[in-house]
Amino acid sequence: MRRNRTTPEVNAGSMADIAFLLLIFFLVTTTIDTDRGISIRLPPMPEENQPENDIRIKERNVMKVLVNANDQLLVNGELLNVKDLKRRTKEFIDNPRRDPNLSESPTKAVISLKNDRGTSYNIYITVHNELKAAYNELRDAKAKADFGKPFEKLNEAQQNIIKDYYRQVISEAEPENVGGA
Amino acid sequence: MKLEKKKKPAPAISTSSLPDIVFMLLFFFMVTTVMRQTDLKVKVVVPQATEIQKLEKKSLVSYIYIGSPTESFRAKFGTAPRIQLNDAFASPNQVVEFIEKERAARAEAEVPLMTTSIKADKEAKMGIVTDVKQELRKCNALKLNYSSSKRAEVYN
């Protein structure tokens, strides 16, 4: 005697469990690593037979930041803690008290950064970060004063006005191997 | 006439669409997951910073890793920080070649938008980083990003 066989239905009840298991696996292994960092633009390599351009910048308009191989910071010949760098930079750029030793105007201010080959990358990033932070804060303050909005929220034309005022000139000298470690 | 409320048992919530929902989530994660393409041969702990920006187009970013070799490579390469390009250790003068290859792999119109991301260990010295920077300047890859993580503390 033959039974009438019907194909048994596939039980889909455990489908959810399987899917959950896979889901949890992917949830755990996924690292949404956003790539973030400090963006800079390198200066182009000088042309070979380009005459050395001899732009004279007044001494007071340059803030010299030196980092040695021991990760010590020298700002205009004065030992400084990294934590004070931002405040000092802002003072230098803005010069609210018209100090004759600080920059004439924010547009003319230049920051010269020089480090040793033995300087640690960590301190270099920290210094760069503080200098950038100083500019960003000043730009933000000006944006709020002039347009009543933070810098980020301005349109491009307004941002350019402020960028022209606080130009952010951070020039990096070629590092030297002075050592000191 | 009296309206009598009939007590109905609460209907069971249908779970038949649960697999569909879960599968949808699963596919989302499967699609968004980016498997790391290169095996890291160097140990990289990026420094921390506050003024960080997101890298916009990931497909246009080339990575240069700098750090001391991981355990298994120590015997051969020592502990001094080295450069890793793609899957191999490299010397600074190979950077130009690497950038040229990266450029060749992309459309010409996208080349000016390409960014180089330096993922260097915070213990590394500036000497090696500077060498890489000089090489990048040589081949005119001027857009640079120093990979760093977010620091909560802000210095005043």
Task: Select the residue of A38, A44, A115 nearest B49 (Cβ to Cβ).
Answer: A38
Structural domains in chain B, sorted by start: 42-150 (3.30.420.270)
The pLDDT tens digits for B70-105 are 888 888 888 888 999 888 899 989 999 999 999 999
Distance (Å) from the C-alpha of residue B63 to the closest C-alpha of chain A?
Answer: 11
Quick count: other Cβ atoms within 10 Å of Cβ A50?
A: 8
Domain assignments of chain A as residue spans, ordered by start:
59-135+168-172
Give the pLDDT confidence score for residue B132 in this predicted structure: 92
The Cα–Cα gap between B67 and B63 comes to 13
Judged by CB atoms closer than 8 Å, whether chains meet at B146 and A37 is answered as: yes
Q: Give yes or no for a contact between B99 and B136, defined as CB atoms under 8 angstroms apart.
A: yes
Q: What is the ipTM of this complex?
A: 0.77
Give the residue carrying structure tokens 């899917």: A19
Decide if A111 contacts A171 (C-beta within 8 A).
Answer: yes
Q: What is the pLDDT of residue A94?
A: 85
Candidates A27, A36, A83: best to mutate against B (most CBs of B within 10 A) is A36
| A79 vs B156: CA distance, rounded Å | 17
pLDDT in tens, A27-38: 887 766 667 888
Domain A59-135+168-172 is found in CATH 3.40.50.150: no
Nearest partner of A72 among A172, A181, A174, judged by Cα = A181
Supply the mean pLDDT for chain A: 83
User: For residue A35, what are the β-bridge partners?
Assistant: none
pLDDT band at A123 (very low <50, low <70, confident <90, very high): very high
User: How far apart are alpha carbons A109 and A161 in whole angstroms?
Assistant: 16
Contact call for residues A103 and A88 (beta carbons, < 8 A): no
Using the Cβ of A72 and the Cβ atoms of chain B, whether some distance falls under 8 Å is answered with: no
